[in-house]
Structure 1
Amino acid sequence: MKRIQTLLLLLTGALNGFSQTQPAPETYNFTVTQAVEYAYAHQNAIVNANLDIKSAEYKVKETTGIGLPQISGQATFTDYLKIPTQLLPGELAGRPAGTFIPVQFGVKYNSNLSVTANQILFNGSYLVGLKASKTYKELSARSYQRTKIEANVNVTKAYYQVLVNNEQLRLLDANITQLKQQVDQTTAQNKQGFVEKIDVDRIVVQYNNLLTTRENTIRLLALNYQLLKFQMGMPIEYNLTLVDKLTDVNLQNDVAELGADTSFYRRRIEYNLQETQKRLNELDLKNKKTQFLPTLSANASYAASYQNNSFGSLYSNNFPSAYVGLTLSVPIFNGLQRENQVKQSKITVLKSQNDLVNLKNSLNLEASQANVNFINGLQSLNNQKQSQALAQEVLRVAKIKYQQGVGSSIEVTQAQTALEDADNKYIQGLYDALISKVDLDKAYGRIQ
């Protein structure tokens, strides 16, 4: 028994020592702006989009390299185990016609070393490809920007969700505090015979329901913190404290100012992406047209040939050769394939133009919808604030009447329920207004 106790003590000490050596989770205190900046540096989708830009840069260099001299070298070695035999006509040696003389030409060992160079002098597809590769890089950069905007929106909404949950928890704590006082007062009055037991039960039920709601809200708050960390690309085990308060959020109604901006859609990354895609389609059409043009390239080669029947003396004799030249390739007829490819590319360009017009209309509609949602959200929030204040006043009057004996406990219970309902609607209205504000900024291209 003592041995077991000793082992347990040693194990406990080892575990404590191990836990002490573990680094404590990092702690961050972030405003919403700092949370977004953290996401820009750590969010997985943004990191990958940034890598796509680097990949596009290498793609541009790869395409550029096609126009640089292409040099290759080759080395061969051949050991003729059996030297090839050629048949010569027998008449050459005075033999009867129709006979052949077997003759072996060549030597046992052969080796060739050569260097070949090619240089494009004119190629329409290459010139268009250079422009297309740069446009492709631009497309990657704009895709990166779109990913950043999406992360900004998601982080901001998740941040506001946590703030709203904290406000909800604050209201619950205030209601629980005042309701606990009411429970204590009603219980004392019941003991003195001034109120009935059912009055105590009604208030206790409400009090217990509020406690349950608070526990649920705390669990939901913890989950929303994890969601915010996920949107930021932050490890879940890190500690995060929000610096901003709800009072720091600007919910001013500037819809009229936004409505005067008729070219806002050009700030939308979706429109920029569609424009870039249209340019890529136009370059593809141009590339198809260049296939009707000839191509010109220069080439040169130098080769050293070694032949000998003795392997040891193979490289003692060199028979070099070299040449330079031009290659002109002129397309003549390929079954009308190029013509049909050009027509297909023209249709693709027309479709991209139509898509751009449709996207503009869609963005205008989205902005109009965001305007309406924001105005409605602000109005609902203001109404809920007034309803919340009225509910608090009704509860205050109902409690006074009940204490003076001119009101019933049912009125107090109903007033308490009405206040809780008003608080819940206020919280929902607050969240809707904050989210509609984010959507409004996104719709008008304010988030970049």
Structure 2
Amino acid sequence: MKPYHTLLIFLTLRLISALPASAQPRSLTMQSAVGLALEKNRDLQVATLETARATEKVREARSYALPTVSASAQYMYFPLKQVSFLPGSFVGLGENDLATFRVGGSNALLGGVAVSQPLFQAGIGSGIRAAQIFEKASAEERNEVRATVVTDVKKAYLDVLITQEQLRLQQQSLARNEQALKDARSLLAQGRASRVDTLRAFVSVENLRPEIIRLTNRVEITKTVLKRTVGLDERETVELQDSLNYDPVAFVAPGTDAFLDAVQARPEVHRLELTEKLNREQIALQTAERAPKLSAIGLLQSQAQANHLRVDQYSWPLSSYIGLQLNIPIFSGFRTVSRIQQAVISRQQSETQLLNLKEIVRAQVKISLSTVEESRLRIATQQQTVTVAELGYRITRDRWKQGIASRLDLSDAELSLTQAKSNYLQAIYDYLTATVELDKVLGRIQF
């Protein structure tokens, strides 16, 4: 048995032994793979959680306009009771003297409920609007992640398909070379071919086996990448149901102004536009720190003191108040001014980033459209090349069998056929990959 055969059998047995006996392969189409990724991809799950966190920030911002109610309770023990000072004349001392008295009980209990309701705070409205904008920006960021995940899954799926097709192409080449070797041995036995032709045929066969081993391993690697991108367990077995086919009818050409369509549809652009609005609200929010704050306040309180701990015998007098509290900022060490300037700089940064992103989108649209068109032209050219290469190989093979052509001519014809098919396969892969990327660039990925 040849060493390459032994190695292939060994690798196959190792793969089979590594699989659970009850494992059933999961059939995947490109569409089902995308659906699974939208459900299981961990990056997308993180982005979804971030959107939920942004929703809670809106609730938090609104809470600053609601009343604050707090209850408190306090117990104190006085080893030395509190001291009060009275004029000395109360107890027969001089006018300039003070009399001291220890008052109250050794045990003191205090409890109450305090209420505060903001009446005027300029920053509350800006805070709510900023939180709402942040929530929308977070949703656009999630859409951006979803578009990236969908694109990555489709590309990973296509990587598996082209690797499988490349492996199949090399296996076909191996089958042709093995047949040529068989023919060479037959002709050698008949005295119609030289020993050198047989050796060349043998070398051609053996030179293909390492590439088949590499591609076999490459198929498993690309499947692993696909499973990780989708969010499946790496140990799970998958079988792809789609094939690497060229369907020009399925391609939807963009409109006359693809750039404007892309700007209006891309979630990245929407996110930066919202970020710019958010930074404007941040400026208003920081500026509001200079404004006075007015709140209504109230307190209901009860307290008791005694020299014992028989609480049921305590007297619990109530006291209360309601009023207004005004807070006027005067000087905060230039912190407010610095924060306002930081917000202004952030707004300028977001404006520049938005302009830069639009230029990037313009370039991406132009490059993607050019790549799609180039790959379509390559497919048309390679279709003709494959047809000619197949015809050339058949003619050369027949001529070689008749002793008219050399073994070298047959090897060149077979290599040209394999290369033509490989180039055609690569052109289809490049076209499909380019259309996937174009969908992302144009913002045509639906959620």
Whether the TM-score (by the shorter chain) exceeds 0.5 is: yes
Percent sequence identity is: 24
Aligned twin of 2:399 = 401
Equivalences for residues 28-427 of structure 1 within 5 A: 28-86=26-84, 90=88, 92-95=90-93, 101-247=99-245, 250=248, 255=253, 257=255, 259=257, 262-312=260-310, 315-332=313-330, 334=332, 338-339=336-337, 341-427=339-425
Deviations 1:186-237 (A, max 9, x none): 1011112111111011111111222332222111111111111111001122
Aligned twin of 2:440 = 442
Structure 1: gaps (5+ residues): 1-18
Distance 2:189 2:164 in 1: 37
Judge conservation of contact 1:153–1:438 (CA < 8 Å) in 2: yes
Distance 2:100 2:188 in 1: 132
State the shift of 1:38 in Å. Answer: 0.3
Distance 1:53 1:388 in 2: 51
Distance 2:48 2:193 in 1: 70
SS at match of 1:193: coil
SS at match of 1:311: coil
State the shift of 1:336 in Å. Answer: 6.0
Letter in 1 for 2:369: N
Structural RMSD (CA): 2.5
Deviations 1:165-191 (A, max 9, x none): 222223223222222222111101111
Comparing 154-163 with 246-255, greater Cα deviation is found at: 246-255
Distance 1:344 1:130 in 2: 20
State the shift of 1:253 in Å. Answer: 6.2
Judge conservation of contact 1:251–1:437 (CA < 8 Å) in 2: no
Pair 1:350–1:315, CA change in 2 (3 A)? farther
Judge conservation of contact 1:30–1:240 (CA < 8 Å) in 2: yes
Judge conservation of contact 1:164–1:430 (CA < 8 Å) in 2: no
Letter in 1 for 2:417: L
Deviations 1:60-119 (A, max 9, x none): 222222222211111111221111345656555444677654432222221111110111
Letter in 2 for 1:35: A
Distance 2:399 2:190 in 1: 19
State the shift of 1:321 in Å. Answer: 0.6
Distance 2:174 2:114 in 1: 87
TM-score in terms of structure 2 length: 0.88
SS at match of 1:362: helix
Judge conservation of contact 2:244–2:428 (CA < 8 Å) in 1: no
SS at match of 1:121: strand
Distance 1:46 1:202 in 2: 54
SS at match of 1:421: helix
Structure 2: gaps (5+ residues): 1-16
Pair 1:446–1:96, CA change in 2 (3 A)? closer
Distance 1:331 1:181 in 2: 92
Distance 2:175 2:256 in 1: 44
SS at match of 2:76: strand
Letter in 1 for 2:77: D
Letter in 2 for 1:391: A
Deviations 1:111-147 (A, max 9, x none): 1111101111221111111111111111221111111
Comparing 366-375 with 251-260, greater Cα deviation is found at: 251-260
Letter in 2 for 1:366: Q
Distance 1:194 1:102 in 2: 134
Pair 1:24–1:224, CA change in 2 (3 A)? same
SS at match of 2:105: coil
